[in-house]
Every structure is written in structure tokens, then in C-alpha cells.
Amino acid sequence: MSAYLNTRVSLYSSRLWQGDQFQALLRAAEGDIPPLLAAGGLTQLADILPGKDQSSLEQSIIARLLDETVVLLRPLSGDARAFLLYWTERFEVSNLKTLLRGKMTGERPAVLLNRLTPMGGFARLDAQELAHAEDVTELLRRLEAGHYARIVRTARLAFEDSRDPFLLDAVLDREYYEGLARRARALEQTLPALARLMAPLIDRINLVWLLRYRFNYLLPPAQVYYLLVAAHYALPVSRLKALAAQDSLEAALATLPPPLHALLAGVRGIPEVFSRMEQEAARTAARVLRSNAPALVRAYAYLILRERNLRAVRAVMRGRNLGLDANLIGDTLGGMTEALH
């Protein structure tokens, strides 16, 4: 299993785009975009040019990620296989949230179905049936009887108390990532290297959510803490409680543990907190991918980098579509490609 998976991951790693490929895409004439994408192994995206439906581009990116995940899953079994499968469920949780929002706004089923990301063999939702649910209450009832029952039940209870769409979304996200953290923790006992990838992810999610909820949305500390992911990395439960109790963004950042405090020194706002932490996570994933870490951990590192890589391609395409200056798009990409060098 390890030999096959390590070989496959090493082969896939050559698909990660480098800075010069992004620069070529950024400055190419429109007619040169399809051959550049094809040469970079992105033939599936080659017919989606600036000016076309950007949702199609997003769906194509996810389809590519799912296709590669199918191959990486082949030799896996047990908890390792379940972990990577659960990682793909992020995309279907997004579909789940799209269905719920559509019911809240009264969208027609046909329009709603068209907005969903096709999941192929990874699908767990009966989208046709769910899109035709009478209302949000009926939709939640059907969801609670299916694959995502554990995620949906807590979110339904929160929504019934508040009728707040934001709270529904936030609890669904929290429940998904708590499920991911539980699965990772079970594997970390025998694969401690997995924590090198999970810690930057969960700590970033918790810190960015905490700062947004507390200082952008002005939620009280108790509610902020309720919406965070229970974890055991640099920001465990006790630290999250203390951060949520702070009265300003500056005070919260000042009380971070040393590694995060150093990483975020001098940040000018929450978007920069996200950007720096995401770039650090990508650098860590790149180091893991180049290391002799266990095959599953290297496969997960590849999937993290591949998704970021493909979203950088999307950022170039979207920037071109909006008519943005090439230098501005390049500055925005910045750290999205630096980890690959």
C-alpha cells in the first residue's frame, strides 16, 4: 500500500504549477490560454475561458480534485480511507448549505440543482429529492435521516431556536470540522506527522472565525466560543475561551501563544491573519510532501497543495475576466505559489 501510494503521490506532485506557469497564464493572450492550461495538465479547464461562467470553473476544479482523490484512495482502507473520504465531504456540505439557502429564498428546484457541485461517486445526498422538499423544515428533516445526520442535527436545533441563517451555516461548518478533527486525532496516535498538517488548518479556522465573530459580527464571547472547533493543537479549549473574552482584535492577537504571535506580528487586520496562516500551512504541506512522511500524510499534503494550486489558477482566470491589471493579479497571488518553489 505505502509503496503504491508514495509512488502515485510523487507522480502527482509534478502536476503542481510553479510560479513561471502562473506568470505565463497571467500575461498570455486569450487565444493562448487553452494550450497553456493543457500543457499544465489542466485540459479539463482549457475550454473555460475568461468571460465564461465562473461557477463552471469552480465545478471543474472540484471535479479534478475528486478524480485525483479516487486514485489516491485505491490502496487505502479503514480509518485512513475514511479520513480522506471525509475530506472530500467539504464540497458536499457546501451543496447542503446551498440547498438550505435556496429553500429559504424560495428558489425553484431546477435553478437550485443547477447551482450544486456534481460529486460523482462521492455523492451522499439525493439532490433531486432534497431540492423538491417543501420548505427548510422538511429539508432539514430529510437531511437528518441521511448520511449527514450528525452534522445536521445540531445545526437544526440551533436554527430552530434562532431562525438565523448565519447560525445555521456556522454550526454546519463547526460540526464538519469537528468531525475532521476527531478522525485525524484517531490517526495521529500512529501517524503523528498528520498533526503537522492538521494543526495549521484547525488553528487557522478557529482563530479567523473567532476574530470575525467577535470583532466583525460583535457576537458575545460565549456564543463565539460555542461556534469554534474543539481541538488540541496550538489553540486548545482553554486558549480559545481566553481569546474570545478579549475586548479588541489587538488584545486577542497579543495573547496568542509564541509561535502564532511571531507569525502574526504586525498584521493589519483579519484578512491578513488568514493570509499569513494559510501561507504558513502551505509551506508546511510542501515540506511534508517532500519528506519521508507516511504515505497517507504525503497524500493529504498533496491534496491540500493541489486545491490551493488550482484555486490560484482560478484567481488568475477570474482576475482576467474582471479586467484587472496583471501586476495586481500577480500581487494578489503572492504567497499562493511561493510554497511550491
CATH of the domain at 151: 1.20.1690.10
Segment 161-186 mean pLDDT:
93
DSSP string over 205-241: HHHHHHHIIIIIS---HHHHHHTSPP--SSS-HHHHH
- Structural domain contains residue 282: no
- Structural domain contains residue 136: yes
pLDDT tens by residue, 251-285: 999 999 999 999 999 999 999 999 999 999 999 99
- Structural domain contains residue 129: yes
- Structural domain contains residue 260: no
pLDDT tens by residue, 198-222: 999 999 999 999 999 999 999 999 9
- Rounded distance, CA 272 to CA 188, Å? 30
- Rounded distance, CA 228 to CA 177, Å? 9
pLDDT tens by residue, 27-56: 888 888 888 888 888 877 765 555 555 677
C-beta neighbour count of 41 within 10 angstroms: 15
- Structural domain contains residue 18: no
Those residues whose C-beta lies under 8 Å from the C-beta of residue 8, and which sit 6 or more positions away, are 71, 72, 299
Phi, psi for 20 (deg, rounded to 5): -65, -30
Candidates 284, 282, 264, 286; CA nearest to 207 is 264
pTM of the model: 0.92
For the chain, how many structural domains are there in total?
1
- Structural domain contains residue 170: yes
Structural domain containing residue 90: 52-193+291-308
- Structural domain contains residue 2: no
- Structural domain contains residue 285: no
Q: Which residues of 234-253 are buried (b: 16+ CB within 10 A; e: fewer)?
A: bbeeebbeebbbbeebeebb
pLDDT tens by residue, 76-102: 999 999 999 999 999 999 999 999 999
